[in-house]
């Protein structure tokens, strides 16, 4: 049976604490809850989901390089706080051929001014933010159409 197209879903720092961390901002869904929904949605779309989380910037970069080498269809990236600080992640996105879609649970533009700059968004093909856990499902629908 042929291999399904793969979508990498990469999650950055502190996202392992979803469901516990500031639920008034990020909601009560855990990363496992989101992963389960994405896997179900992926099956319906004929896609394999490879979801990962790390608190380390270099892991996210290595995984983007891996997705590129594997010929992934797309990467959904919630870089967490690295969104506003990481030129290294920006450069990694620019250095690969796999399209990257930025994802955020909250809307950074409605939060503190330092969150209004997105180095990820400057390199990504699209962004989904402010829809809670549905930001991921909207991004996956978009990725399926690439």
Known catalytic membership, residue 131: no
Cβ density class 56-85: b for 16+ within 10 Å, e for less:
ebeebbebbeebbeeebbbbbbbbbebbbe
Q: Does 137 fall in a domain?
A: yes
pLDDT for 23: 67
72, part of any domain: yes
Establish if 96 belongs to a structural domain. yes
pLDDT of residue 109: 79
In a domain, 62, yes or no: yes
Overall domain count for the chain: 1
The confidence score (pLDDT) of residue 26 equals 72
List the catalytic residue out of 82, 104, 119, 136.
104
Digit-by-digit pLDDT tens for the chain (146 residues) are 568 999 999 999 999 998 877 767 777 899 999 999 999 999 999 999 999 999 999 999 999 999 999 999 999 999 999 999 999 999 999 999 999 999 999 887 778 788 889 999 999 999 999 999 999 999 999 999 99
Active site residue 104: yes
24 inside domain: yes
For residue 10, tell me if it sits in a domain: yes
Q: Which of 26, 82, 119, 136 is catalytic?
A: 26
| Integer Cα distance of 21 and 28 in angstroms | 9
Domain enclosing residue 65, as ranges: 6-118+126-144
CATH code of residue 72: 3.40.50.9100
Does 58 map to a domain?
yes
Question: Does the residue 1 lie in any domain?
Answer: no
pLDDT at res. 146: 93
């Amino acid at each position: 049976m042929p291999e399904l197209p793969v979508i990498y879903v990469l999650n950055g720092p502190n996202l392992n604490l979803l469901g516990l961390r500031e639920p008034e901002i990020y909601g009560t869904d855990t990363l496992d809850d989101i992963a389960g929904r994405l896997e179900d949605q992926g099956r319906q779309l004929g896609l394999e989901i490879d979801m990962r989380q790390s608190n380390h910037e270099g892991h996210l970069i290595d995984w983007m390089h891996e997705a590129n080498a594997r010929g992934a269809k797309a990467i959904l990236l919630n870089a967490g706080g690295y969104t506003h600080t990481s030129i290294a992640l920006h450069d990694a996105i620019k250095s690969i051929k796999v399209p990257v879609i930025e994802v955020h649970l909250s809307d950074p533009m409605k939060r503190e001014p330092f969150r209004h700059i997105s180095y990820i968004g400057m390199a990504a093909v699209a962004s989904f933010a402010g829809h809670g856990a549905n930001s991921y499902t909207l991004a996956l629908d978009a990725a399926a159409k690439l």
